[in-house]
Amino acid sequence: MYDFLDVRGRIFDIQKYSIHDGPGIRTIVFLKGCPLRCKWCCNPEGQEFKVQEMTFLGKHKTVGEDVSVAEVMAEVMQDRVYYTRSGGGLTLSGGECLAQPDFGEALLTAAKYEGISTAIETTGFAKWEYIERYLRVTDHVLMDIKNIDNEKHKKFCGQSNEVILENAVRIAKSHNDLTIRVPVIPGFNDTKTEIAKIAEFASMLHGVKKLHLLPYHRLGADKYKGLGREYSLEGVDLIPKDKMNELLETAKKSGLYCQIGG
């Protein structure tokens, strides 16, 4: 057996007391590096694997830290009492948490060893062998399906959606707690037709319990400037509440339990 506590990886944040990233109160560990480049990404500092310097809210900061599983778990364990009371636990996010497979698997294994619930937030763009390893030690899967149209997916996310859709089918077959999340982005997938296609696809997957529509927001926009990058959705308006409600009604026709927000 390998000593999972010694495995090292690169993170860029740990957030405590989250209630939107899986059941109960959770600690979110953000792993650095993502193979996609979604135009709306609110964590652009998590996209590159390399350690970066950035300015945010007027302060300079280094983004990316190499840590061991033991170090991360010491922080995660501080809130054990909250997990027990709320049914919460550890959630791996990113970036793409599947992009550091040894580290991610070791973190999830360490949490399970401690009897803590585990969740992953993923876009599913990874080799199936990595996903399989994660699923053995993951209780809840929160997976993004951003668009069924592959050309649009490539244009807005920088990668094909083929592997993602294939993996969604395979995850659903082998895991019975899968939530599909759809970031709803103006000009990308904010029409009834597009949301209906995603919801229909999700409803055909056996393990899917819920579908969450996540309205576009600009909370990460300033980070791009801080990284010396341009925010390509500058000037794009938020989606009005009425329109989000219409899209919700469209999604509900799939028969899935649907909601706005995570």
> Which residue of 11, 25, 38, 233 would you call a contact of ligand SF4, by CB under 6 A?
38
Q: How far is the CB of 174 from ligand SF4 (least distance, A)?
A: 22
- Give the DSSP H or E segment for 21: none
Least distance between ligand SF4 and beta carbon 80 (Å): 28
20 is a contact residue toward ligand SF4 (CB under 6 A): no
**Is the peptide bond prior to 88 cis by the omega test (within 30 degrees of 0)?**
no
Asked if residue 123 binds ligand SF4 (CB under 6 A), the reply is yes
Nearer to ligand SF4 (CB atom), residue 123 or residue 138:
123
CB nearer ligand SF4, residue 79 or residue 96: 96
As a whole number of Å, the CA-based R_g of the chain is 18
Q: Helices 69-77 and 101-113: crossing angle, nearest 10°?
A: 40
Bridge-partner residues for 18, per DSSP? Answer: 26
Q: Is 146 exposed, middle or buried (0-12, 13-18, 19+ CB in 10 A)?
A: buried
Binding test (CB under 6 A) with ligand SF4, winner from 41, 182, 195, 233: 41
Nearer to ligand SF4, 4 or 231 (CB): 231
Q: Which residues contact 182 (CB under 8 A, 6 or more apart)?
A: 144, 145, 146, 189, 195, 198, 211, 212, 213, 214, 251
Q: How far is the CB of 27 from ligand SF4 (least distance, A)?
A: 18
Asked whether 20 and 215 are in contact (CB, 8 A), the reply is no
Task: Determine the size of the site formed for ligand SF4 (CB under 6 A).
Answer: 12
Q: Report in angstroms how near the CB of residue 142 gets to ligand SF4 at its nearest.
A: 12
Distance CA 181, CA 133 (A): 22
Q: CB under 6 A: which stretch of 19-27, 30-38, 82-90, 243-251 binds ligand SF4?
A: 30-38
Q: Which of residues 7 and 145 has its CB atom nearest to ligand SF4 in the complex?
A: 145
Residue 94 makes contact with ligand SF4 by CB under 6 A: yes
Closest CA to 14 of 81, 88, 93, 70: 93
- Cβ-based neighbour number of residue 140 at 10 Å: 20
Residue 147: count of CB within 10 angstroms of its CB: 23
33 binds ligand SF4 (CB under 6 A): no
Fill in the per-residue mask, 45 to 64: x = in contact with ligand SF4 (CB under 6 A), - = not in contact. -xx-----------------
Closer residue to ligand SF4 (CB): 81 or 219 = 219
> Residue 115 and residue 94: Cα distance in Å, rounded?
23
Applying CB under 6 A, the residues found at the interface with ligand SF4 are 34, 36-38, 41, 43, 46-47, 94-96, 123
